[in-house]
């Protein structure tokens, strides 16, 4: 097996069906007639393999195949659909190491995080299998004699899933496993820079469908650019678009979907803060902040971008954090000792450098980091910035890189106000040992984010809860709790089993 650049690390790719050149569209078969793109390894800037992307015609064929597959898929009882998802979970278990490695190679996150993403998909499969025997409607008391009032949940049909580069497996997994047990079929458009991962995932899924004599187009894939994403958002045949990505693109997707009265799940950008109260356990703060500021090289939607620190502990937190940052091992994400890998693209480096420049212009002090690392690939130094007002434009912007702004506050109330003053509303954490602070933080005047943590970092959510954020983060919820409802339509059904025709509200129409 040969790849675009020979590398001893690439041999495992053949276990996932990845070749030197790959077709990037799958419905009932693998195809693709669009332009050929190269997947680049962020760790060295070199191409791994080529992918022939899909055109709008390829997309059209994929949607039709996905709609046709629904006719078969929707007839399977939900627990039988759950059985297929159980098999998908097992197939992912078999490929966890290789798929995790591919995530690491193509996206750039360290290997434990790459494997962690696959584990997240496995976990949500297990969850969905249980759900397939549990999701339930209601029987509601009817005010009319001889009448039954029921709530029925049915699949939506074909849906669209558009994903971001930074979680090339898990985000699809969250949507895919739930949508499958709910009875939907789906077209997936993955991020333009992580096509190999989506091809490998789809190969794993298609084998499960084929082994069960089901059409693989239940889960179709189109590797394509924004024109395919735009077509999906405007396509009335896709009743739901689940979109994960930046707020700017998400706004456009939301408008296109709304224009046709479609339904959307929007999982957009965050600007997540950790609040450090004066009574916080500072060892826990530093360990947690290190993981959520530097982990994934600051490229999680839930990465910590602001630390709002009580003035009494500010100096201590700053010096401990600087010490911890100086010990972070930056390097090849596939090497076991690495804690921080590269950024995903050259463009991400430019965003990082321009944020540092802007911070400096506004009077920010670079306490550590602030530079590109001089080696192949897209490496930067994790950075701490102080001395900026909490409402500086750059502090309010999501820069998708390992930059954190350390801000000072005088009270818990002020800290919460600073937490809430940004447009985004994804994740938030408070470190405190005071019970009153905890309940203030969780209550109506507390954090306005979708994820509200205490004494843990802003990143690293479990699949059992609903995941998503408020305000410019889009309001979507995925994964656990009652997120499944979004992949189904609800019918309120009134059945008259009497020989009378009483009207509601006692209205007489005789």
Structure tokens at 355: 């944020």
CA–CA gap between residue 105 and residue 113 (Å, rounded)? 12
The reply on whether position 426 binds ligand NAD by CB under 6 A is yes
> Checking DSSP bridges between strand 46-52 and strand 36-41, what pairing results, if any?
antiparallel
Q: Which of 165, 291, 441, 487 binds ligand NAD (CB under 6 A)?
A: 165
Q: Which of 117, 123, 267, 381 binds ligand NAD (CB under 6 A)?
A: 267
- Contacts with ligand NAD: how many residues (CB under 6 A)? 30
Check if the beta carbon of residue 391 is closer than 8 Å to that of residue 415: no
Which residues are CB-contacts of 104 (< 8 A; sequence separation ≥ 6)? 110, 111, 113, 114, 333, 334, 341
Q: Which of 20, 252, 396, 397 binds ligand NAD (CB under 6 A)?
A: 252
The reply on whether position 230 binds ligand NAD by CB under 6 A is yes
Piece of 165-173, 198-206, 212-220, 365-373 that binds ligand NAD (CB under 6 A): 165-173
Indicate if 120 belongs to the active site. no
- Please give the DSSP secondary-structure letter assigned to residue 38: E
The reply on whether position 166 binds ligand NAD by CB under 6 A is yes
Piece of 1-9, 70-78, 135-143, 267-275 that binds ligand NAD (CB under 6 A): 267-275
Check if the beta carbon of residue 336 is closer than 8 Å to that of residue 47: no
Piece of 118-126, 175-183, 246-254, 321-329 that binds ligand NAD (CB under 6 A): 246-254
Check if the beta carbon of residue 109 is closer than 8 Å to that of residue 342: no
Piece of 101-109, 140-148, 157-165, 438-446 that binds ligand NAD (CB under 6 A): 157-165
Which residue's Cβ lies closest to ligand NAD? 229
C-beta closer to ligand NAD: residue 157 or 269: 269
Q: Which of 113, 117, 267, 478 is catalytic?
A: 267
C-beta closer to ligand NAD: residue 306 or 408: 306
Q: What are phi and psi of 364, to 5 degrees?
A: -65, 145
Bridge partners (DSSP) listed for residue 150:
139, 493
Residue for token digits 């458009």? Answer: 189
- Per the rule left: phi > 0, alpha: psi between -120 and 50, beta: everything else, 59 is alpha
The reply on whether position 191 binds ligand NAD by CB under 6 A is yes
Q: Which of residues 387-416 bind ligand NAD (CB under 6 A)?
A: 398, 400
CA–CA gap between residue 302 and residue 280 (Å, rounded)? 21
C-beta closer to ligand NAD: residue 84 or 273: 273
Check if the beta carbon of residue 111 is closer than 8 Å to that of residue 104: yes
The reply on whether position 113 binds ligand NAD by CB under 6 A is no
| DSSP 3-state of 381 | coil
Question: Least Å distance between CB 198 and ligand NAD?
Answer: 10
Q: Which of 221, 268, 308, 318 binds ligand NAD (CB under 6 A)?
A: 268
Residue span 288-327 as binding mask against ligand NAD, x where in contact by CB under 6 A, dash where not: -------------x--------------------------
Check if the beta carbon of residue 13 is closer than 8 Å to that of residue 22: no
CA–CA gap between residue 21 and residue 48 (Å, rounded)? 10
CA–CA gap between residue 130 and residue 275 (Å, rounded)? 36
Question: Least Å distance between CB 40 and ligand NAD?
Answer: 14
The reply on whether position 269 binds ligand NAD by CB under 6 A is yes
Question: Least Å distance between CB 221 and ligand NAD?
Answer: 12
Go through 126-138 and write b for each residue having 16 or more CB atoms within 10 A of its CB, e for each that does not.
ebbbebbeebeee
Residue span 436-455 as binding mask against ligand NAD, x where in contact by CB under 6 A, dash where not: --------------------
CB atoms closer than 10 angstroms to residue 430: 28
C-beta closer to ligand NAD: residue 346 or 413: 346
Structure tokens at 122: 């496995």
Q: Which residues bind ligand NAD (CB under 6 A)?
A: 162-167, 171, 189, 191-192, 226, 229-230, 233, 244-246, 249, 252-253, 267-270, 301, 398, 400, 426, 469, 473
> Which positions are catalytic?
267
């Amino acid at each position: 097996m040969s790849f675009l650049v020979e590398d001893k690390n690439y041999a495992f790719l053949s276990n996932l069906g990845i070749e030197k050149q790959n077709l990037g569209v799958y419905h009932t078969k693998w195809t693709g007639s669009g332009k050929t793109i190269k997947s680049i390894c962020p760790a060295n800037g070199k191409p791994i393999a080529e992918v022939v992307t899909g055109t709008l015609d390829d997309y059209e064929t994929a949607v039709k195949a996905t709609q046709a597959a629904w006719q078969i898929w929707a007839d399977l009882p939900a627990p039988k659909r759950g059985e297929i998802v159980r098999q998908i979970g097992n197939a992912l278990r078999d490929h966890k190491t290789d798929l995790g490695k591919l995530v690491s190679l193509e996206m750039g996150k360290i290997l434990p995080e790459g494997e962690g993403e696959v584990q997240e998909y496995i976990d949500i499969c297990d969850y969905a299998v249980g759900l397939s025997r549990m999701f339930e409607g209601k029987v509601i008391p009817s005010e009319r004699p001889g009448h039954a009032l029921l709530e029925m949940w049915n699949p939506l049909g074909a849906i669209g899933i558009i994903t971001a580069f930074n979680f090339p497996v898990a985000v699809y997994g969250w949507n895919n496993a739930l949508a499958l047990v709910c009875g939907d079929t789906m077209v997936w458009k993955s991020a333009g820079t992580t096509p190999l991962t989506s091809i490998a995932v789809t190969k794993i899924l298609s084998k499960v469908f084929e082994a069960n004599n089901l059409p693989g187009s239940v889960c179709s894939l189109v590797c394509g650019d924004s024109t395919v994403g735009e077509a999906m958002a405007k396509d009335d045949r896709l009743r739901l678009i689940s979109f994960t990505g930046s707020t700017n693109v998400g706004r456009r997707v939301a408008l296109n979907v709304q224009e046709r009265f479609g339904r959307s799940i929007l999982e957009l950008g965050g600007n997540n803060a950790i609040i450090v109260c004066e009574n916080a356990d500072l060892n826990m703060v530093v360990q947690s902040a290190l993981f959520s500021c530097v982990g994934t090289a600051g490229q999680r939607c839930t990465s910590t971008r602001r630390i709002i620190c009580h003035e009494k502990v500010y100096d201590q937190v700053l010096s401990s954090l600087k010490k911890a940052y100086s010990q972070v091992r930056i390097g090849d994400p596939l090497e076991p000792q690495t804690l921080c890998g590269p950024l995903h693209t050259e463009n991400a480096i430019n965003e990082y450098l321009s944020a540092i420049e802007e911070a400096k212009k506004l009077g920010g002090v670079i306490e550590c980091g602030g530079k590109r690392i001089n080696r192949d690939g897209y490496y930067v130094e994790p950075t701490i910035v102080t001395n900026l007002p909490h409402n500086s434009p750059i502090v309010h912007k999501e820069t998708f890189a390992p930059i954190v702004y350390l801000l000072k506050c005088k009270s818990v109330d002020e800290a919460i106000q600073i937490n809430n003053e940004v447009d985004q509303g994804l994740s938030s954490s408070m470190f405190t040992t005071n019970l009153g602070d905890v309940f203030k933080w969780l209550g109506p005047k507390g954090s306005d984010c979708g994820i509200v943590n205490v004494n843990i970092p802003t990143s690293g959510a479990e699949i059992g809860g609903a995941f998503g954020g408020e305000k410019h983060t889009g309001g979507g919820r995925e994964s656990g709790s009652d997120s499944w409802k979004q992949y189904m339509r609800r019918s309120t059904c009134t059945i008259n089993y009497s020989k009378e025709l009483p009207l509601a509200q006692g209205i007489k129409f005789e």
